[in-house]
Structure 1
Amino acid sequence: MKALVWHGEGDIRLDDVADPSIQDANDAIVRITRSAICGTDLHFIRGTMAGMHEGTILGHEAVGVVEEVGASVRGLSPGDRVIVCSTMSCGVCRYCRMGQTAQCDVANPNGPAAGTCFFGGPAPTGPVDGLQAEYARIPWASNTLIPIPDNVSDDDAILLSDIFPTAWFGAQLAGIRRGDTVAVYGAGIVGQLAIAAAYRQGAGRVWAVDGVQTRLVKALEQNAEVIDFNAEDPVEAIMDATMGVGVDAVIEAVGVDAQRPARGPAAEKYAARTEQFAAEVAQTAPETNVQGENWVPGNAPSLSAQWAVESVAKYGRIGMIGVFSPDLTSFPIGAATNKNLTLRAGNCDHRSVTPPLLDLVAAGLFDPAPFVTQREPLDDVVDAYLSFDRRDEGWLKTVLTTE
């Protein structure tokens, strides 16, 4: 079968690899009909998340059709259309029973202390081959797969594999309440859906912070108030807009590949931290393979976290869903403590968060289609990655098709 394979930093290839097979009684084999490219995948190629094994198939978002099930798999049969949750979970350990499926005690083959197990990631997450392929092996299939209702298309279901649940989870982490003022740092696809989630969880006003114009335009379409960090200082802009108080809650959706402002008043301000940011880049991306404009790590890994702390009100709440390398040790903990902030961070509990969102889509109460900006065949996946990595105009979310 064809699959996108990681061969090293800056080196991904569409290879012919062996078809997956059942390895455990809890496995299923799924024929992938849709997969998608996520910003998390870029971390592995840029080198800002260490521990990748050469030969790992990338990708952690997919929908498809069950082809085969192991002897212990219940509730699923060949021919069923399914969403593949990005994170794997058994469904019966103590964390799964509490709905905290991202920290399943048994899914990660590295043991319960290893934390989240997800598709297409580095060694600490499994590793488990990913979903940007024609077929995939799904461990713990009874809990990792979610059947798709007949009235939900594959195109609509694909955003429920990871990014919509993750965005919703981020709003939950931030404790959004009715009437809240909210800042969303990062207006990529997760940030866009975080705006949608914040409004649906009760936010009164939402500000979206980014430096890419097409992303800010998309945020405007959702009635967010936008701040271009290349035109104004985002912290000052939010403080001015909230009469010096700050927002009630922040959703951080950027992570370790944050970029410093390239121009404007904030650029001069953060130029003084060049050495600090350079040390953080060396810490989080010790090996890179920059090729022109591609695979360039973010030049300010801790900046979005700093902005989050600076722009939230005293006793405010921060939900962090951006991906941060475990090797990054910088965080403004003193400032956060001094403001009595509540900080919650982590990977989405997909298996418990997704089903109610699937109900929203099935009922016609939320339309994912406008958030998909590109549809490309799997054969063109490498070129699609290059465009997405460069933040080319309009490249917000790319869905890959195998049919």
Structure 2
Amino acid sequence: MRALTWQSKRTVTVEEVPDPTIQRPSDAVIRVTSTAICGSDLHLYELFGPFLSKGDVLGHETMGIVEEVGSDVTQLQPGDRVVIPFVIACGDCFSCSRGLTTQCETTQNRDQGTGAALYGYTSLYGSVPGGQAERLRVPLADFNATKVGHDLPDDRYLFLSDILPTAWQGVAYANLEPGSTLGVMGLGPVGQFVARIGRHLGHRVIAVEPVAERRAMAERYGVETLEMEGAVDALREMTDGRGPDAMVDAVGMEAHGAGAAAAAQAVVGLLPDALARPMMQQAGLDRLSAMMTAFDAVRRGGTVSLSGVYVGTADPIPMMTLFDKQLTIRMGQCNVHAWRDTLLPLVEDPSDPLGVEDLVTHRVPLDRAPEMYEMFQKKHDGCIKVVLEP
């Protein structure tokens, strides 16, 4: 089959790779109909080379049609249409029973000191082949494949794999009271959904984003938007001098405006893998400008919810500010399975209240994936969300 493979920093190619097969009785294999490029895929494209091997298949936002199931699979059969959460979990362990599927004790990568296995996301998370391919093996398929209908287009369901539940969790973690004001850092795909969910739940939403096309998309949903320059002062002026009740950072570790951390990341990227891996694991730095802005802008006693990915182990955090402002901080990989029953009725609602059919800006064949990674990273051509069709 054809699949998108990592080759080196900023180099991905579509190659012929072996078809996935049933390896365990609880597996299924699906034929992929749609798979998206996620903002966190860009971390692999730019930063995570030390934890990738040449030929690794990328991608973790996937849906398709079941082609084959193992002998222990009871909830699926060939022909079913399914969405695949990016997290691989068992559904039965201590963590899963508490809704913490990203901490699944069955698929947890204890040798790496990390959580549950993820599709297409480095040796830190199991080196599981991803879904930017013609086919995908789904482990523990009864729990990890969400069955959906055949009548609505893929865009109604595809984002249940990651970015829609990630956004929902980000807003849930913001702990907003009715009629609160929510600030959002970044209007990439997750930030767009964070802002729409905030509005859907009845909150005022003010988002900070440097790219005009992204601001314009959010404004269609009643979101107030600001450019980066002077954003903290503007957020306070718009909220009686206090700041928003909560901030969601939907940007993460590669925020702009952090030269020292960017330089450190670039240096590590030039090292041999054997040297780069321990440096990233023991002294890694994130670009923290989005998170620091959120800490600065949120009102005293407010909440900062981190949806953007952070991986640094030596990040400087302003503990005095956090303590003095009495802030609550919540974060973590999205426990996708915990939100799917809440979100499925919303994506199937004929009115499309979260605008899942109004996010994709580029839809292309799988063969064009390499150019789309570059376009998405550089934010060219109004690129906000890319869907690949194998």
TM-score of the aligned structures, taking structure 1 as reference length: 0.89
Contact 1:106 1:112 in 2 (8 A): no
The Cα of 1:26 is off from its aligned counterpart by 1.7
Equivalence for 2:179? 179
- How far apart are the structure 2 equivalents of 1:223 and 1:288? 44
- How far apart are the structure 2 equivalents of 1:218 and 1:47? 29
Gaps of 5+ in 2: 272-284
1:294-325 alpha-carbon deviations (Å, 9 max, x no partner): xxxxx981111100100001110111010112
1:153-203 alpha-carbon deviations (Å, 9 max, x no partner): 223211221111111111011112211111000011110000011122331
Contact 1:89 1:106 in 2 (8 A): yes
1:336 to 322, 326, 330: 322
Contact 1:302 1:331 in 2 (8 A): no
1:336-373 alpha-carbon deviations (Å, 9 max, x no partner): 11111010000111112123211112232434111111
137-146 vs 111-120, greater mean Cα deviation? 111-120
1:9-53 alpha-carbon deviations (Å, 9 max, x no partner): 122111110101111222111110000011100011111575223
Q: Secondary structure at the match of 1:239?
A: helix
Query: CA separation of 1:44/1:240 partners in 2, compared to 1, >3 Å: closer, same or farther?
Result: same
Equivalence for 2:65? 65
Contact 1:37 1:397 in 2 (8 A): yes
- How far apart are the structure 2 equivalents of 1:88 and 1:111? 17
Contact 2:199 2:223 in 1 (8 A): no
- How far apart are the structure 2 equivalents of 1:112 and 1:359? 37
Q: Secondary structure at the match of 2:159?
A: helix
Query: CA separation of 1:50/1:356 partners in 2, compared to 1, >3 Å: closer, same or farther?
Result: farther
TM-score of the aligned structures, taking structure 2 as reference length: 0.91
Matched, 1:322 2:308: yes
For residue 225 of structure 1, what is the amino acid of its counterpart? Answer: E
Contact 2:199 2:222 in 1 (8 A): no
Contact 1:44 1:50 in 2 (8 A): no
Query: CA separation of 1:254/1:137 partners in 2, compared to 1, >3 Å: closer, same or farther?
Result: same
Equivalence for 1:221? 220
Contact 1:43 1:49 in 2 (8 A): no
Equivalence for 1:244? 241
1:270-308 alpha-carbon deviations (Å, 9 max, x no partner): xxxx7xx4146415871069xxxxxxxxx9811111001
* Alignment: residue pair count: 375
Query: CA separation of 1:384/1:177 partners in 2, compared to 1, >3 Å: closer, same or farther?
Result: same
1:210-256 alpha-carbon deviations (Å, 9 max, x no partner): 11110011111111111111xx3111111111121111011110001
- How far apart are the structure 2 equivalents of 1:303 and 1:285? 19
For residue 5 of structure 2, what is the amino acid of its counterpart? Answer: V
Q: Secondary structure at the match of 2:67?
A: strand
| Paired residues for 1:345-360 under 5 Å | 345-360=331-346
The Cα of 1:107 is off from its aligned counterpart by 1.8
Equivalence for 1:286? 268
Q: Secondary structure at the match of 2:87?
A: coil
- State the 4+ residue runs in structure 1 displaced beyond 6 angstroms: none
Query: CA separation of 1:139/1:110 partners in 2, compared to 1, >3 Å: closer, same or farther?
Result: farther
- How far apart are the structure 1 equivalents of 2:351 and 2:319? 39
Root-mean-square deviation (CA, aligned residues, Å) is 2.0
Q: Secondary structure at the match of 1:39?
A: coil
Equivalence for 1:267? none
Matched, 1:84 2:84: yes
- How far apart are the structure 2 equivalents of 1:212 and 1:202? 25
